[in-house]
Amino acid sequence: MSTSAGGATPLPRDAAVARGATLRALEVDPRLLGMLGALAVIWVGFDLLSGGAFLTPRNLWNLSVQTASIGVMACGMVLVIVTRNIDLSVGAILGVTGMLIGVLQAQILPGVLGLEHPATWLVAVAAAIAVGGAIGLFQGALIAYLAIPSFIVTLGGLLVWRGAAWWVTQGQTVAPMDGRFRALGGGIEGAIGANATWIIAGLGCAAILALMWITRRRRIRYGFPARPAWAEALVAALACGAVLGAAVIANAYPLPMGIARRMAEAQGIAWPPGGLFIPHGFAIPLLVAIGVGIAMTLLATRSRFGRYVFAIGGNPEAAELSGVNTRRTLMLVFGLMGALCGIAACIATARLNAATNAAGSLDELYVIAAAVIGGTSLAGGAGTIAGAMLGALVMQSLQSGMVLLGVDAPLQNIVVGLVLVAAVWVDTVYRRRIR
Amino acid sequence: MSARLAPDPAVPLVEMRDISLSFGGIKAVDGVSLDLWPGEVVGLLGHNGAGKSTLIKVLSGAYRADAGEILVNGKPTIIASPRDAKTYGIETIYQTLALADNLDAAANVFLGREILTRWGTLDDAAMENATRKVMARLNPHFRRFKEPVRALSGGQRQSVAIARAIEFDAKILIMDEPTAALGPAETRQVGDLVKQLKAQGIGIFLISHDIHDVFDLADRISVMKNGRLVGTARTSDVTKDEALGMIILGKCPPGAIPGPGAMQA
């Protein structure tokens, strides 16, 4: 990357090859590493500028909650863009879905199930996924079977569903949400506590190690070159370190004193004079987003459906001639995008503890930006879920960092816009190099 | 898989009868009949726009004929999609290769017919293993299994496209300009492969405009002009000049069986 040898002179081969060999042994996507580097620069930069206010457990915990909704939708947007399409309607789908489940749990379900019924949140989430998925499938059918360009269908969808969101209650905000449902949005009731956090982190590490071991064993069984043992160990250590580090941070953010006191009293624990340190632990929206990210990564890389999505993006005609049902696949991609909008609607509505018809406005642009910053090629055929989620984190970090520094809102938008363009430019240069 | 039938030596592997197909009033293929026997190579010749590729796409399921019928092993069949064609053992190597450039060799070879693990996920290791085996036959020096096929040379890409066709024991192989993008050594390799597959009893439609190639490899030639069949002949019964006369003028020589498109003398 840092070779400034000038136009015609060849690259300093030896250094490049040696670095390439190390990276190849690790089998880590260099683009992903670049994004992690950029994220580190942003985090440290904001921390220095804000006098140490950015890299605090409290800020990082909030960052994880704020990123969740865009992160969930960005996973679906990767597949949409990989098939050479776009979805401009995701924010509007979030809006109308949020309104519908808001009305469902605030006005309809209390009459049917009773107020604060334990099943309320489940019904609301299922309804959100179903409504979002149905809207997505409908738009996908128009795109796949009637061959209307996705840009137009979803631009129309943006207007239609935003209008529909207003129509649900004639613009009135619906509040409050069900208590259990609110946990999906984070906050105090949406934190899982210290012990559960350690258990989840431990399970996460075990899953990482098991997956790496299975992959390695399979490669060795067929006699393919596997990663050298040191590389395998290093990757495993870094991955598990990241999971455990996140757990440490989440458990370093205590509940506010008043709430900790109430919890202690409820459990009959004497309140010590210095106060009690009750950690938050992981936020539920973060866990939802990570769960979606893992499921979508499996779908994209390990399933037949995902393989077809990428094949369509690489060469739609070839996919069709190979017997892939390209239309059905395309419709399902949009259906999946809609269902993820439904999940994001739950997170956004729960976090706000209210459903408003403006929820998710401009989200389509942030979601597309997250996917593109994360290395999804607008030409189709290339992109990763992990990259898109990191892209969402980069964008949210920029925004909350600027809020922390007291930067004016218009200037925030200017910075985010510039970063988007610059990130895509860097990516274009990188792609040209590896050709 | 059960739709595949054992070849019967008394009937042609495939027979196309009076196939017609129009695009917006233009008859791209007009009443063409062709047949292909086990272990036979039939060269399909004609100028650009003569209708060769269109005819062949009817057989491979990419297009549906407006009229006519297709018999596989003597039985009338309906080929409505590429998937249908594949269930009858009809494999096609397209002139454009039809590869997904962003995927690696194994993903392309198995596209649409992936090997799954017992949990229903893609078994990439098994697919790579099978691809390594078939590529060892086609192109022993091929090593770039992990790279997207975009990064491969023309000959390597061609090998991947051929590997995809022969991996699933084809009965009928359609090769549309298989040597157009290749150098002399690779062209010879494809020629050897054609002979090898022919010896296994596979029937091959070879579409080419290189008349020398076709005379080297084909048992019979069928010539098309303006969407119609000029005639069919054994390569031993006609000279290259006569074949050129069929292609350019539509003139059917005495050694050939004239079709509806032959110039009336």
Q: Which distant-in-sequence residues (6+ apart) come within 8 Å of A119 by Cβ?
A: A113
Q: What is the 3-state secondary structure (H, E, C) of B149-162?
A: HHHCCHHHHHHHHH
A116 at B interface, C-beta within 8 A: no
- Write out chain B residues lying below 8 Å of A320, CB-based: 62, 82
CB nearest B103 (choices: A221, A298, A310): A310
CB nearest A314 (choices: B62, B97, B102): B102
Q: What is the mean pLDDT of residues A231-245?
A: 93
B111 and A303: CB-CB below 8 Å?
A: no
Phi, psi (degrees; rounded to nearest 5) at A7: -40, -70
Residue with tokens 């290093």: A234
ipTM score for this prediction: 0.87
Superfamily in which the B14-89+171-264 domain is placed by CATH: P-loop containing nucleotide triphosphate hydrolases (3.40.50.300)
For residue B112 the two structure tokens come to 């649409």
A298 at B interface, C-beta within 8 A: yes
**What share of chain B in percent tops pLDDT 90?**
46
Tell me what the pLDDT averaged over chain B comes to: 88
pLDDT digits (tens, 9 = 90+) for B21-47: 999 888 899 999 999 999 999 999 988
The pLDDT score that the predictor gives to residue B5 is: 47
Reply yes or no on domain A53-188+284-435 having CATH 1.10.3470. Answer: yes
* Residue B1 in this model has a pLDDT that exceeds 50: no
- The answer for B8, left when phi > 0, alpha when psi is -120 to 50, beta otherwise, is beta
CA dihedral of B55, B59, B63, B69, whole degrees rounded to 10: 90
Q: Which distant-in-sequence residues (6+ apart) come within 8 Å of A86 by Cβ?
A: A80, A150, A151, A154, A368
Q: What angle do CA A170, A172, A177 make, to 5 degrees?
A: 130
A311 and B60: CB-CB below 8 Å?
A: no
pLDDT digits (tens, 9 = 90+) for B50-93: 888 899 999 999 999 999 999 999 899 999 999 899 999 999 99
pTM: 0.89
Domain ranges of chain B: 14-89+171-264, 100-168
The residues of chain A that CATH labels 1.10.3470 are: 53-188+284-435
A307 and B107: CB-CB below 8 Å?
A: yes
Please tell me the distance in Å from A359's CA to the nearest CA on chain B: 37
Please tell me the distance in Å from B124's CA to the nearest CA on chain A: 8
- Write out chain B residues lying below 8 Å of A381, CB-based: 100-102
Interface list for A 224-243 with B (CB within 8 A): 224
CA distance linking residue B139 with residue B159, whole number of Å: 7
- A with B: how many residue pairs have Cβ under 8 Å apart? 78
Please tell me the distance in Å from B81's CA to the nearest CA on chain A: 7
Please tell me the distance in Å from A317's CA to the nearest CA on chain B: 7
Of the pLDDT bands very low, low, confident and very high (cuts 50, 70, 90), residue A157 is very high
What's the length of chain B? 265
CB nearest A313 (choices: B92, B96, B102): B102
Q: Which distant-in-sequence residues (6+ apart) come within 8 Å of B159 by Cβ?
A: B135, B138, B139, B142
CB nearest B100 (choices: A224, A301, A311): A311
B48 SS3 class: coil
The pLDDT score that the predictor gives to residue A1 is: 37
- Write out chain A residues lying below 8 Å of B113, CB-based: 323
* Residue A299 in this model has a pLDDT that exceeds 90: yes
Of the pLDDT bands very low, low, confident and very high (cuts 50, 70, 90), residue A18 is low
Q: Tell which wins on pLDDT, B125 or A268.
A: B125
Please tell me the distance in Å from A69's CA to the nearest CA on chain B: 28
Q: Closest-CA residue in chain B for A318? A: B98
For residue A314 the two structure tokens come to 């690489």
Please tell me the distance in Å from B125's CA to the nearest CA on chain A: 6
- The distance from CA B188 to its chain's CA centroid, rounded to whole angstroms, is 18
CA distance linking residue A96 with residue B209, whole number of Å: 59
CA distance linking residue A334 with residue A317, whole number of Å: 20
pLDDT digits (tens, 9 = 90+) for A46-89: 999 999 999 999 999 999 999 999 999 999 999 999 999 999 99
CB nearest A224 (choices: B97, B111, B128): B128
Which residues does residue A65 pair with via DSSP β-bridges, in sequence order?
none
